[in-house]
Amino acid sequence: MKLFCNATSPFARKVRVAMHEMGLSDRVEEVLTDPFAASPPPELLAANPLSRIPTLITDEGLALPDSKLILEWLQATQSNRLPVESARWAAARRATIAEGVIEAAVASVLEKRRPESIIMPAALDRQADAIERALDMLALESNALGDPAAVPSVANLTTGIALAYLDLRLPYLNWRQRAPSLIEWFDAFAARPSMLATEPPAAK
Ligand SMILES: N[C@@H](CCC(=O)N[C@@H](CS)C(=O)NCC(=O)O)C(=O)O
Please give the pLDDT value at position 70. Answer: 98
In this structure, is residue 203 part of a structural domain? no
* Same domain, yes or no: 52 and 129: no
Q: What is the DSSP letter of 2?
A: E
- Provide the domain limits for residue 184: 88-193
* Same domain, yes or no: 73 and 112: no
Count of the separate structural domains present in the chain: 2
In this structure, is residue 204 part of a structural domain? no
- Which residue, 69, 72, 20, is CA-closest to 189? 20
In this structure, is residue 57 part of a structural domain? yes
Please give the pLDDT value at position 191. Answer: 97
Residue 55 CA, closest ligand 1 atom number: 20
* Same domain, yes or no: 141 and 169: yes
Centroid of ligand 1 to alpha carbon of 5 (angstroms)? 10
> Which stretches of 113-192 are DSSP H helices?
121-140, 154-169, 175-178, 183-190
Instruction: Report whether 112 contacts 173 (CB < 8 A).
Output: no
Centroid of ligand 1 to alpha carbon of 102 (angstroms)? 10
Which of 29, 48, 77 is at the close of a domain?
A: 77
Strands 2-5 and 55-57: antiparallel
* Same domain, yes or no: 73 and 94: no
Centroid of ligand 1 to alpha carbon of 53 (angstroms)? 5
CA distance between the termini of the chain? 31
Using CB distances shorter than 6 Å, the residues near ligand 1 are: 9, 11, 35-36, 51-54, 66-68, 106
Around Cβ 15, how many Cβ atoms within 10 Å? 30
CATH code of residue 173: 1.20.1050.10
Which of 24, 52, 77 is at the close of a domain?
A: 77
Please give the pLDDT value at position 204. Answer: 54
Give the whole-angstrom CA distance, residue 192 versus residue 188: 7
Q: Whose CA is nearest to atom 2 of ligand 1?
A: 66
Please give the pLDDT value at position 202. Answer: 79
Residue 102 CA, closest ligand 1 atom number: 10
pTM, entire model: 0.97
Segments of the chain with pLDDT less than 70: 203-204
Q: Whose CA is nearest to atom 16 of ligand 1?
A: 52
